[in-house]
Amino acid sequence: MAFTTLHRCPSCRASNRVPAAHLADTGRCGACKAPLSPRGEPIEADSAILESVVQGAKVPILVDFWATWCGPCRLAAPEIEALAKDMAGRALVLKVDIDAHPDLAVRYQVRSVPNFAVFRGGTLFLQRSGVATRWELSRWLEQAGARPV
């Protein structure tokens, strides 16, 4: 089953289902037809969500592999949230807790966290471990095809 997320309309508060392929698109509320903005916050991902979004999204995707016990991961979290907001409509940001989803850590050979992977067109474009600045993460997404600001 393809991943869909619920997007609450800011005008009428109706819940709208948004499939993975349209998370970066501007849409319209099914109830009141008000505009719905593209996804501008990180998406907590498991194996099914990661696969669905990576295969379905039309924009580059940054995946933040992190862990609750990781101090640098906690320090990077506000920057990751800000990046998701900055890149809304141009890229998507996913977060994978490696303790909750060790299968993904194994699949993507995550040996240290934080670890960032960028996907383009359903395939891995680049992967780096260690803390990175929001500017650097944004540059990686732009190299993968996200429109510059």
For the chain, which residues make up each domain, given as ranges? 4-36, 43-143
- The pTM assigned to this predicted structure is 0.93
* Summary mean pLDDT of the chain: 95
Say what the pLDDT of residue 48 is: 94
- Could you read off the pLDDT of 82-139 as tens digits, one per residue? 999 999 999 999 999 999 999 999 999 999 999 999 999 999 999 999 999 999 999 9
Task: pLDDT band for 4, please (50, 70, 90 cuts).
Answer: confident
Task: pLDDT band for 1, please (50, 70, 90 cuts).
Answer: low
- Could you read off the pLDDT of 5-31 as tens digits, one per residue? 889 999 999 999 999 889 999 999 999
Higher pLDDT, 102 or 3: 102
Say what the pLDDT of residue 96 is: 98
In this structure, CATH architecture of domain 43-143? 3-Layer(aba) Sandwich (3.40)
CA distances from 96 to 30, 49, 113 (A): 30, 10, 11
Question: Which of these is catalytic: 9, 12, 32, 70?
Answer: 70
Average pLDDT, integer, range 31-54: 95
Does 70 qualify as catalytic in the annotation?
Answer: yes
